C-alpha cells in the first residue's frame, strides 16, 4: 500500500496492490494472521488455524512477498519446508493465552512478549506471557489487568498492546493497552475504546 500524506487532495486514497491472493492457500497455516513482529531485519509471523495450534514462520523483511525465502519452526528447528496444517510438533506451547493479542520484543526486559485475551472470552481480562527466545519456551500466561467489560453481548474484544505508542518504544518498563468495549445503549450497541497505561513494578 502506498499513500502520499503530503497530497492536498482530500479525496485521495492509498494505492493498494494485491500481491498474491493465493499466497497462503485454503487448508494451509495462515502465517501472520494471528500476529507478527519484526526484529533485526527479520519478520516473525504466527499462524493459528482452526485446530488452535500456533505455528511460527520467519522471513527477511525485504522478502515478505517471496515465499521461497520463508522458514518454518518444525520439530524444534527452522526448515524451508512448509508444514501441513495437521503436522506434528509445530505448536509452540504457552505462546499466547489463545485469543487476540500483540507480540513484541521488549528492549527493557530483553524478552519476547505477548499481551492479549484468553481464547474463549469476551471480557476485558488481559494476559501476558514472555520468553527469552521467540521459539520458546514461553512462560504460562498470567492475568494482570481487568478492564470494564461492556454491557452488550460481546462486551469486550480486540485486546491489544501498543509498544509503539510510547515515545521510548519498548525501552521503558511500561505499555499502553486498548480494547473494544461494547455497551447497550438506546436499544443498540455503543462502541468505545479505553486507553490503559500500565507501569510495571
Is residue 69 classed as helix, strand or coil in its secondary structure?
Answer: helix
Which pairs from 3-7 meet CB under 8 Å and 24+ separation?
none
pLDDT for 188: 92
Q: How many CB atoms lie within 10 A of CB 179?
A: 27
Contact assessment for residue 117 and residue 177, using Cβ atoms and an 8 Å cutoff? no
pLDDT digits (tens, 9 = 90+) for 25-64: 999 999 999 999 999 999 999 999 988 899 999 999 999 9
pLDDT digits (tens, 9 = 90+) for 142-191: 999 999 999 998 999 999 999 999 999 999 999 999 999 999 999 899 99
Q: Which residues contact 95 (CB under 8 A, 6 or more apart)?
A: 46, 54, 56, 114, 129, 131, 136, 138
- Averaged pLDDT for residues 80-96: 94
Q: Which residues contact 56 (CB under 8 A, 6 or more apart)?
A: 31, 44, 45, 46, 47, 72, 73, 92, 95, 134, 135
Amino acid at each position: 500500500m502506498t499513500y502520499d500524506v503530503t497530497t492536498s487532495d482530500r479525496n485521495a486514497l492509498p494505492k493498494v496492490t494485491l500481491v498474491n491472493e493465493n499466497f497462503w492457500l485454503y487448508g494451509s497455516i495462515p502465517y501472520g494472521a494471528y500476529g507478527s513482529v519484526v526484529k533485526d531485519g527479520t519478520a516473525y509471523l504466527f499462524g493459528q488455524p482452526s485446530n488452535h495450534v500456533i505455528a511460527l514462520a520467519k522471513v527477511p523483511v525485504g522478502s515478505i512477498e517471496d515465499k521461497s525465502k520463508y522458514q518454518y519452526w518444525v520439530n524444534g528447528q527452522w526448515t524451508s519446508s512448509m508444514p501441513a496444517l495437521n503436522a506434528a510438533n509445530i505448536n509452540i506451547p504457552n505462546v499466547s493465552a489463545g485469543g487476540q493479542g500483540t507480540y513484541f520484543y521488549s528492549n527493557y526486559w530483553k524478552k519476547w512478549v505477548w499481551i492479549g485475551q484468553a481464547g474463549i472470552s469476551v471480557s476485558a481480562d488481559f494476559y501476558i506471557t514472555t520468553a527469552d527466545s521467540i521459539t520458546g519456551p514461553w512462560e504460562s500466561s498470567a492475568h494482570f489487568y481487568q478492564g470494564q467489560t461492556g454491557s452488550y453481548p460481546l462486551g469486550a474484544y480486540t485486546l491489544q498492546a501498543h509498544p509503539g505508542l510510547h515515545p521510548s518504544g519498548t525501552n521503558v518498563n511500561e505499555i499502553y493497552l486498548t480494547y473494544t468495549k461494547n455497551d447497550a445503549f438506546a436499544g443498540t450497541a455503543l462502541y468505545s475504546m479505553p486507553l490503559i497505561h500500565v507501569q510495571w513494578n
